[in-house]
Amino acid sequence: MIKPVGSDELKPRFVYDTTEHEKLSAEAESLPSVIISSQAAGNAVMLGGGYFTPLEGFMNVADAMGAAENMTLTDGTFFPVPILCLLEDVSAIQGASRIALRDPNVEGNPVLAVMDVENIEEVSDAQMRTMTQKVYRTEDMEHPGVAAFNSQGRMAVSGPIQVLNFSYFIEEFPDTFRTAVEIRNEIKEHGWKKIVAFQTRNPMHLAHEELCHMAMERTGADGLVIHMLLGKLKPGDIPAPVRDAAIRKMVELYFPPNSVMVTGYGFDMLYAGPREAVLHAYFRQNMGATHFIIGRDHAGVGDYYGAFDAQTIFHEEVPKGALDIEIFEADHTAWSKKLNKVVMMREAPDHSKEDFVLLSGTKVREMLGQGIAPPKEFSRPEVAQILIEYYQGLEKQA
The C-alpha atoms of residue 385 and residue 380 are separated, in whole angstroms, by: 9
Distance of CA 62 to CAs 74, 84, 154, 307, Å? 7, 11, 14, 32
Name the catalytic one among 154, 201, 296, 365: 201
- Assess whether 248 carries a catalytic annotation: no
- DSSP assignment string, 124-183: PHHHHHHHHHHHHS---TTSHHHHHHHTS-SEEEEEEEEE---TTHHHH-TTTB--HHHH
Which of 119, 202, 296, 365 is catalytic? The answer is 202
Separation between Cα atoms, residue 10 and residue 174, nearest integer Å: 22
Q: What distances in angstroms separate CA 3 from CA 7, 96, 228, one per listed residue? A: 7, 37, 22
Phi (first) and psi of residue 341, to 5 degrees? -165, 170
**Largest distance between two CA atoms of the chain:** 69
How distant is the alpha carbon of residue 333 from its chain centre?
A: 22
Whether residue 155 contacts residue 90, with contact meaning beta carbons closer than 8 Å, is answered with yes
The pairing of strands 356-357 and 98-102 is unpaired
Q: What is the DSSP letter of 249?
A: H
Query: Annotated catalytic, 202?
Result: yes
Rounded to the nearest 10 degrees, the angle between the axes of helix 125-136 and helix 273-286 is: 80
Catalytic residues: 201-202
